[in-house]
Amino acid sequence: MLQYNLKKENGFALPRDKTQADALVEDHYETLKNIARAKRRRAGGNQTMLTTDLLHESWMKLRNHGQWHSEQHFIRTAALAMRQVLINSIKAKLTKKRGEGVAHLPYDDIKDCLPEFKESPEDILMINDLLERLGAIKPRLAELVDLRYFSGFTERETADILGVTDRTVRRDWKMAKTWLAVEMRGLEVVETNRV
């Protein structure tokens, strides 16, 4: 379980002042490191990027982000940046390995719609593509999946970060998993018809 301590202050905003932004990272370094560790674990052990590398590369993206409205907003933005860095790393690795685009792998059996830890890089890219599509329709659901699935946050932690109730998280989680399962089954049908 990830532990974190977020201040809940209204009107919290950080200017582009690097020292203030650096202080925010220092305050939440362990939380950010836990998120990076969860994202790496989800991506499988064969990744060449270390947890601290993922965290620091993400910070390089965040450093010029601008303002955060709250500490929760900062944590959410950091988790998204880590996912983007990891996805870019996987894409680069697969492109180098295979020479060009990545084919989606069909699932033989979808029990809980989302695979367990240590998916293949192809599976992670497929889930990322699905999340991008979900984000275009229901941004909060995509963010919830990112926080729960990729970052490893609990229901309670996700509720705190999103500023909603535990009940809303449970309802949205069920809705997101259902949407993903339907979309993944659609991909299986398309892949099966191509063979």
* Distance in angstroms (rounded) separating the CA atoms of residues 115 and 148: 13
Model pLDDT for residues 12-69, shown as the tens digit of each residue: 444 445 555 677 778 888 888 888 888 887 776 556 678 888 888 888 877 766 677 7
Is 4 a domain residue?
A: no
Is 147 a domain residue?
A: yes
Residue 117: predicted pLDDT:
46
Is 10 a domain residue?
A: no
Is 33 a domain residue?
A: yes
Residue range of the domain that includes 64:
18-194
Is 82 a domain residue?
A: yes
**How many domains in the chain?**
1
Residue 7: predicted pLDDT:
42
Residue 111: predicted pLDDT:
36
Model pLDDT for residues 150-184, shown as the tens digit of each residue: 788 889 989 998 999 999 999 999 999 889 888 88
**For residue 6, is pLDDT > 60?**
no
Mean pLDDT, residues 134-141 taken together: 93
DSSP state of 148: I
Going from the C-alpha of 192 to that of each of 41, 65, 67, 103, 108, the distances in angstroms are 30, 42, 46, 13, 11
Residue 20: predicted pLDDT:
58
* Distance in angstroms (rounded) separating the CA atoms of residues 62 and 145: 21
**Confidence bin at 2 (pLDDT 50/70/90):** very low
Is 187 a domain residue?
A: yes
Tokens of 84: 């983007």
**Confidence bin at 141 (pLDDT 50/70/90):** very high
Sign, CA torsion 49/50/54/59: negative
**Confidence bin at 139 (pLDDT 50/70/90):** very high
pTM: 0.53
Is 183 a domain residue?
A: yes
Residue 181: predicted pLDDT:
86
Residue in 21, 77, 32, 80 with CA at minimum distance from that of residue 56:
32
Is 101 a domain residue?
A: yes
